[in-house]
Structure 1
């Protein structure tokens, strides 16, 4: 069965798991906690996934953890806990990223740079400039296909991973997979009951890929970075961006033309990327989104969004709000 976008806003009866009641150095307590996770009923699938991430960070003594769903050639983080700005819900990672590449085949990968060992080609591992001193990760298999990955790492850990850690993350991955399978089954039943179908509408994951920020270098890459920094804060006009780059408007246009791209195309990409985040993740109003993306008015934003997706922003939100 092909992996589909995860419906992570569907309400589930509330249940609270007291993580601090467990001694995670004890394998018996780990099993008890994982059993409670498997049978608990949090407020939503999102909170359930985050509960697994929180438990994993405590269990493996890591400061960062995430669960990511594979969508084509990228991993989309759907639940995370981190003190690093470079890891956050909604982030897209390349499947070639060392943190995830070695586990996509279904095996557990662990790395202990501080202990002199590594699952990779080098005993040193870094992510966005942060040195990693311990990593353990596992693929999540849903309906016998790779749904994504579960990954935990630390910038401080100096304790070697042992067999109990490997067994623990395997059990966690199976628990997450079972929850996703149950949710997918429920979503299929709901779709059959409602008979929902909209011709011409893509899958949510396809829109995410379409809205992915392009990998650009040189002046084009600098323009994208400046646009990202100014979203929701400052004007996004070409004159404003050129001034921040200490270039004239004409020079900026000429240099972008040399890279076979226009300023309007780059701004469209950035606006489209953030519009989905504002609509689905943050549930922002249409007016506030149009302001944040520096459109002249609500109508201009609506027309642009229809050009990108064929749907109005409000319709897009109604169709995909359960996929946040």
Structure 2
């Protein structure tokens, strides 16, 4: 889901950023050191702290950390006031922006950067007019984990050598944090039930639960379902009414696209159920209601069908990913 826009004075970070002058390279180094030595915290809190610090350093209102998974880059943490970028979004690897960063090319563009388009599995095409952009790859265990990227749509700034050194250090800091977090998880896994046969990695479930890239009436159905989650019923009759169609007509048009309403609703429900369980820690009863299941048991049975795990077990296994 999209996060709120950056509030640079927000206290919800691991360190007090207000005491640093980010135009001063020494202050940047001090901030990186404090972040690296901060008390243990959830991965999202670490990433959010780095992103907000980076936005201040590079004069950007948007920043994100993306993880490379198969043929896409998933945004694992994002601070932005743009509707086009949000936590959980999937960016295709062949997009010019992603391709350029992952290729190892230095990226620090501050002029003649226009009409860059992010192609997302969730949102198709979303044009963003970029004025500033600086990014770096994140290497974890000597392999490309993903990217850290900062961009601005309303400010123009030339980046210098200190800026490039800063984002390199930031990428190394994020990589070290990820390695430490992974080591802690591995230690817990060795002494816990994480080795249960049939349990996938959390990222595999996220890919499985991604919203479908659809078009035509199927795309409209997904959009309506997303807008109704947690607010209104998700029945086919309710969705058909909102689209100005009869139930029979909607079924027929979906059949022409070789997909059913039940499949689309399952995808949307699965997608949001993981967010509600892990990121929002909502109660099982509240999730059942938000996803328009008749009762808790119906939701539990559906979730077991999607993952092979009960919602409560899934949360216990993966709550550290929040």
For the criterion TM > 0.5, the same-fold answer is yes
Residue 303 of structure 2 corresponds to residue 312 of structure 1: no
Tell me how large the CA RMSD over aligned residues is. 1.9
Instruction: State how many pairs are aligned.
Output: 304
Deviation at 1:41, TM superposition (A): 2.4
In the TM superposition, 1:1-324 aligns within 5 A as 16-41=14-39, 43-112=41-110, 115-116=111-112, 118=113, 123-126=114-117, 128-194=126-192, 196-324=194-322
**Deviates most, 257-266 or 93-102:** 93-102
Residue pair 1:69, 1:148 contacting (<8 A) in 2 also? yes
CA deviation digits over 1:221-248, x for unaligned, max 9? Answer: 1111111111111111111111111111
**Deviates most, 41-50 or 141-150:** 41-50
Normalised by the length of structure 2, the TM-score is: 0.89
Residue pair 1:106, 1:141 contacting (<8 A) in 2 also? no
* Cα distance, 1:193–1:287 mapped onto 2, change above 3 Å: closer
* Cα distance, 1:299–1:256 mapped onto 2, change above 3 Å: same
Residue pair 1:227, 1:267 contacting (<8 A) in 2 also? yes
Between the aligned partners of 1:16 and 1:284, the Cα distance in structure 2 is 24
Residue pair 2:42, 2:320 contacting (<8 A) in 1 also? no
**Structure 1 regions of 5+ residues with no counterpart?**
1-13
Residue pair 1:99, 1:137 contacting (<8 A) in 2 also? no
Deviation at 1:196, TM superposition (A): 4.0
Between the aligned partners of 1:141 and 1:157, the Cα distance in structure 2 is 29
Deviation at 1:141, TM superposition (A): 0.3
Deviation at 1:16, TM superposition (A): 4.8
**Structure 2 regions of 5+ residues with no counterpart?**
1-11, 119-125
SS of the residue 1:102 aligns to: helix
Instruction: Give the corresponding residue for 2:121.
Output: none
